[in-house]
Amino acid sequence: MATAVTVAGSLGVAAAGFLPWSRTGRSRSGLELARTLHEVGLAPGRPLGTLLVLFLFTPLLAAAVWIAALTRRRLLVAMLGTATGAVAVAAALLLRTSSLRTDEGGDVAMAAGLLAMAGAAVLAFLWRDEEGDR
């Protein structure tokens, strides 16, 4: 069940990247917004620039979570799910603290990211308990 929650949250993060996140003259998806901010140099520092680049890879991270789940690699699902969720939550919080007019994409990404991280936390604890029994 925790694996399914992590996969669903990660896929939700990937889908949220295509939803409208901000209105800057027209509605922009999260992926468009991240790419535009990166291209025009509005991500001056290393942490922000890294976050924007990582956000562009959330669909790939979500696919990796799904593949890890199919191959029953629970620890890998937990690690990748945590990474996917953390990137989504950080990007959504960044948008919330900016002066941009926000749309529903950031909220969906935050909820899906938190879901992915919650499932990943349960998976990590279950994996730890299994390893302790050996």
pTM above 0.85, yes or no: no
Instruction: Report DSSP state, residue 40.
Output: T
Which residues lie closer than 8 Å to 68 by C-beta, 6 or more apart?
Answer: 76, 77, 80
Q: What string of pLDDT tens digits covers the 134 residues of the chain?
A: 899 999 999 999 999 888 887 766 666 666 676 666 666 666 556 666 677 778 788 899 999 999 999 999 999 999 999 999 999 998 888 877 776 667 788 889 999 999 999 999 999 888 766 655 44
